[in-house]
């Protein structure tokens, strides 16, 4: 960023387009990470019920059931977020 004599920012077109490019790349990386998290949570949503069914004691079953509830909440929050930014998810 270029500053003028009175220390006010003076962005030219090159600086501004470069900044937008950086912001866009950061946004894409962030969305890619959120999509990875979403897919992992969806996989857990399938796997955890199987683990609950195969649990050998009630303590493990309770812990896995709690984990499943949190996983389902995470999925819902991520879906709500993607809808709010008009971002399709697989």
- List pLDDT tens digits, range 8-62: 555 555 566 756 665 677 788 888 999 999 999 999 999 999 999 999 999 999 9
Domain boundaries, the chain: 11-84
Task: Supply the pTM of this predicted model.
Answer: 0.70
Contacts of 45 (CB under 8 A, 6+ apart): 68, 71, 72, 75
Burial 17-27 (b: 16+ CB within 10 A, else e): eeeeeeeeeee
pLDDT of residue 24: 75
Contacts of 43 (CB under 8 A, 6+ apart): none
Q: Are 39 and 78 in contact (CB under 8 A)?
A: no
């Amino acid at each position: 960023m270029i500053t003028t004599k009175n220390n006010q920012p003076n962005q030219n077109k090159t600086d501004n387009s470069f900044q937008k490019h950086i912001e866009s790349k950061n946004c894409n990386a962030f969305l890619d990470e959120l999509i990875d998290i979403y897919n992992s949570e969806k996989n857990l949503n399938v796997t955890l019920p199987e683990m609950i069914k195969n649990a050998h004691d009630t303590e493990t079953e309770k812990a896995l059931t709690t984990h499943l509830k949190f996983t389902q909440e995470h999925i819902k929050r991520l879906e709500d977020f993607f809808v709010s930014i008009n971002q399709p998810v697989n």
